[in-house]
Copies of this chain bind each other. A is one copy, B any other.
């Protein structure tokens, strides 16, 4: 392992994070904060915490830079995997500094006293941001005395950075020559990447540009709905990164008190549209917007499947919600009104979960009927399209998975017929691909099952019993949903981690497990799991 080269590359990551922190500084000033929630004066605590974090990052970056000054030699695959894994760990630690130094509180205890975030909370919140999960341990977001606005802006900034992957930005912005391609391979979501090195760097730049442009457009749309610049920016970051951090405890449901019911409808529509775009392969958006070829979008098997899932599942959820007379899906004697509000709610939540954003609207989806909740749990494992900012397993992997199983079943009685795997009519004759997709599903299954039973073992039942809504009878299901929601970078799950709940009540050990799962999920399993194998670090 070429440690000097690792060190050189880690120094750049560190400087990039320090640079991003600077943009959170201005929000310490009350005049920039949202009119409805404004701190009493200048947020000196948050401001100095950010300044301190920037300083520490610069020092750490300097040490890495010094050690890596004489770095030489090519970047091998092993080094590339190591740098990706280590840079996420480093980013998480550095990203946690502002929470640590500002004395941000998770909420209030039963006496109304504020409760400071603990070390595992800092790490959890930072990882949740970078991995674009959006799971939170902060309970009273609307109280600036508990959570400074500038820290809240940093929290949403981690989504922005995490959205396309720090490494993609790294390649695009800082350039890495031969290293770029290897790094992109490890970090870019989705099973297949191709193209030359120069094209790779060009692609990264195009992706970053589309990403920034979408952020700008959504920010303006939300501002138009009546939100402050602060809220508009934070929610644009959360949407386009498919993250899900909000600045309100009630997520998007919290907008109503600020901008009124009719404006919320528009905000929800904008957010749904941009969530769908964020879950779309950015290559297709490039064809659509830059090259004006919408046909590519329609012709893409993955995108068609993605849209069909959104439409199909929304309709199912609406039907079951109406028949079960769920709140928000059914109003006595008002059929069309019921259907309208059911479509709004069902559509929003299906898109929010499928794209792995995790925003919640007015009605808690945890109050839906069992079918609706079960379907959302399954959707968590599907995720967005490859090459999007969406997490999860990706639609294309599911398309391939079903096709592969079908072909293998056919082979079991038609031994002589060997049929190629086709996507959209084109044969994909990479025999390794078949196995790789199956291995990927196998790993997700194994990690999910092990994490689930470990969580059930380490988390005391009292975590459930102490909550108003909770009962330890739900421990098995809630734990499964918490693992699914973190591993797939969604955020909210069912029950005790439902959209109106949060992760604050878990033990530090469980939070560590969630942090690891979020990183595993964001790095598409392989990179992180490989880092845990002792054989990986042994020199060859």
Contacts and interface: CB of A to CB of B under 8 A. Distances in A.
Nearest to A464: B370
A370 to B, nearest CB: 4
B529 A409 contact: yes
Interface stretch (A17-25, A41-49, A244-252, A467-475): A467-475
A199 interface: no
Contacts of A452: 374
A81 B408 CA distance: 15
A409 B370 contact: no
A477 interface: yes
A435 interface: yes
A461 interface: yes
A477 to B, nearest CB: 5
Interface size class, chain A: 35 or more
B405 A442 contact: yes
Contacts of A456: 370-371, 374
Contact of A410 (B374, B404, B445, B533): B533
A324 B465 CA distance: 14
Given A320-B457, A453-B371, A473 B476 contact: no
Contacts of A415: 77
A374 B453 CA distance: 7
A536 interface: yes
Nearest to A436: B408
Contacts of A533: 409-410
A453 B409 contact: no
Contact of A472 (B370, B377, B477, B535): B370
Contacts of A438: 435, 438-439, 441-442
A265 to B, nearest CB: 30
Contacts of A477: 476-477
B526 A412 contact: yes
B453 A378 contact: yes
Given A370-B472, A526-B412, A401 B442 contact: yes
Contact of A535 (B408, B410, B434, B479): B410
Nearest to A79: B413
Nearest to A443: B405
Contacts of A371: 453, 456-457
Contacts of A324: 461
- Among A415, A475, A479, the most chain B Cβ lie within 10 Å of the Cβ of A475
A536 B413 contact: yes
A535 B461 CA distance: 51
Interface in A367-417: 369-371, 373-375, 377-378, 401-402, 404-405, 408-410, 412-415
A353 to B, nearest CB: 14
B439 A442 contact: no
A446 B405 contact: yes
Contacts of A536: 413
Nearest to A186: B412
Contacts of A374: 452-453, 456, 476, 479
Nearest to A457: B371
Contacts of A412: 81, 526, 530
A449 interface: yes
Contacts of A296: none
A77 B378 contact: no
A537 to B, nearest CB: 10
Contacts of A410: 533, 535
Interface in A32-56: none
A324 to B, nearest CB: 8
A387 B377 CA distance: 36
A29 interface: no
Contact of A378 (B408, B413, B414, B449): B449
Shortest 9 CB-CB distances between A and B: which pairs?
A438-B438, A370-B475, A408-B439, A374-B456, A477-B477, A78-B413, A371-B457, A371-B456, A374-B476
